[in-house]
Amino acid sequence: MYDVQENILATPLTLPNGAVLANRLAKAATSEHLADRRGAPTRQLAEAYRRLAHSGAGLLISGNVMVDGSALEAQRNVVIEDFRHLPELRRWAAATVGTDSKLLLQLSHAGRQSMRGLKLAGRQQDVVAPSAVPLGLGKWLFRQPRALSDVEVVTLVQRFATAAYVAAEAGFAGVQLHAAHGYLLNQFLSPLVNRRDDRWGGPLENRMRFLLDVVRAIRAGTPPSFILSVKLNSADFQRGGFAPEDALVVAKALELEGVDLLEVSGGTYESIAVVDGTPERASTRAREAYFLDFADQFARELTIPLMLTGGFRSHAAMAEALTSGSVDLIGLARPITHDPTFPHRLLADPTARSTAPTPKIGHKLLDDLLNSSWHQQQLSRLGRDASPRPRRHPTTALLIAALTILRDALLHS
């Protein structure tokens, strides 16, 4: 019989603020698009996370929870601007009751990555960025952003702090700041997008000021037991953009500010980090973990716990990454949304491996849409107390995604 106590994946993790995660497995952020037209979390969203809380994962991280209803990532994002949705948020936070899972809300602002027309019902869309630099994916999809004023940047710092305070009052274990994948916090870090010449732009010390001010404001307004995590790009993978050496400087600054957990990721809408595979002679963990080289570099110079998401499929690769000291927490996205029993299997069986497919059409833009909609459709089914359908044909999934986008646009017009 396999001894669970010998399984490094089952080892508890104590964060800097004293919070203890039951094991080394986390459900990584996947955008759910299950809010109502007011931006409040629905019962379906709470039910999906109740199912995930019983998966065995020690940590759950939500998809984008927006701090401004005028700048959404998707039409059915949860939005926290004040206490108006507190009852619904409390219902969502209660999804983990009776389990060892802790639930963090991923706080985000889309910045220039807000597609045309995305807004709360009755609101005007406001596409903003550090500088008026358009997204290079077509004007028919994304509007030209306007540059934020100094006062507006300060106001946004408070928006993040308010959202975190409300999350704490609602009963969530903490929040994760989304400073990766080209969203607003990441845009301020990027010299390609941030071309300001004031205190928010120029040298890296200024470009990271917005993120650090948000961290400080959240720390000042929430209790010490409240977990504060940051998702940070290891690189934007764009020439002249946010580079690995920049990321390490920012990571060290976040450590000094007392952040409890740092998730390593990479890429933006313009440059999505995709790994097609590495030579078979590479180690198991290198073949599976997309950003492991960056995590290795971070681990050598940081003491803050590191979470790595992207590509992990087997117990062997996860255990090797943890044993090496490169990472402290394994993030799972596709494997856990396609099979909510997967963490339990990993904790009980050293031969466990995810068979979650990676559906593709063969067209980059369609495959990008398919990748996100695939998770959303599985989470939607979990919220209806139905089983996931990981073998759904890619064409069918894209059709459902298109019809869903059309429905949401009509409902929010």
SS3 of 10, please? helix
Determine the pLDDT at residue 223: 97
Q: What is the dihedral of CA 318, 324, 326, 329, to 10 degrees?
A: 40
Q: Which of 2-16, 33-47, 262-276 has the lowest mean pLDDT?
A: 262-276
Mean pLDDT, the chain, as a whole number?
Answer: 89
Cross-strand pairs, 262: 230, 306
Predicted confidence at residue 356, as pLDDT, reads 81
Buried b (16+ CB within 10 A) or exposed e, 285-318: bbbbbbbbebbbbbbeebebbbbbbbbbbbbbbb
Contact partners, residue 335, CB within 8 Å, separation at least 6 = 312, 313, 342, 354, 356
Poorest-pLDDT segment among 48-57, 236-245, 333-342: 236-245
Instruction: Please indicate whether residue 141 or residue 321 has the higher confidence score (pLDDT).
Output: 321
Q: How far is CA 190 from CA 49, 184, 293, 331, 378, in A?
A: 33, 10, 21, 25, 33
- What are the chain's domains? 4-358 (3.20.20.70)
As to burial, measured by CB atoms within 10 angstroms (0-12 exposed, 13-18 middle, 19+ buried), residue 89 is buried
pLDDT computed for residue 290 by the predictor: 67
Q: Under DSSP, is residue 182 helix (H, G, I), strand (E, B) or coil?
A: coil
pLDDT at residue 4 is higher than 60: no
Angstrom distances, CA of residue 176 to CA of 11, 66, 70, 194: 22, 12, 21, 22
pLDDT over 90, % of the chain? 68
Q: How many angstroms separate the CA atoms of 13 and 58, rounded?
A: 9
385 Rama class: left (phi>0) / alpha (psi -120 to 50) / beta = left
Q: Is the pLDDT of residue 221 over 80?
A: yes
Q: What is the tens place of the pLDDT at every residue in 157-194?
A: 999 999 999 999 999 999 999 999 999 999 999 999 99
pLDDT value of position 189? 97
Q: Is the per-residue pLDDT at 368 higher than 80?
A: no
Model confidence at 404, in pLDDT bands (50, 70, 90)?
confident
Would you call 255 exposed, middle or buried from its count of C-beta atoms within 10 A (0-12, 13-18, 19+)? middle
Give the chain's radius of gyration (CA, Å).
Answer: 20
Which tens digits make up the pLDDT trace of 277-314?
Answer: 333 334 434 445 668 888 889 999 999 999 998 889 99
The predicted pLDDT at position 24 comes to 98
Statement: the pTM of the whole predicted model exceeds 0.75: yes
Helix (H, G, I), strand (E, B) or coil at 161: helix
Q: Please, is 125 exposed, middle or buried when counting C-beta atoms within 10 Å of its C-beta (0-12, 13-18, 19+)?
A: middle
Confidence check: pLDDT of 361 > 80: no
Q: How confident is the model at residue 121 (pLDDT cuts 50, 70, 90)?
A: confident
The backbone region for 327, taken as left when phi is positive above 0, alpha when psi lies in -120 to 50, beta otherwise, is: beta
Q: Which pLDDT belongs to residue 402?
A: 72
Mean pLDDT of 332-356: 93
**Nearest 10 degrees: Cα torsion 334, 337, 398, 38:** -120
93 or 287, greater pLDDT: 93
pLDDT of residue 377: 87
Over range 253-265, report the average pLDDT.
Answer: 96
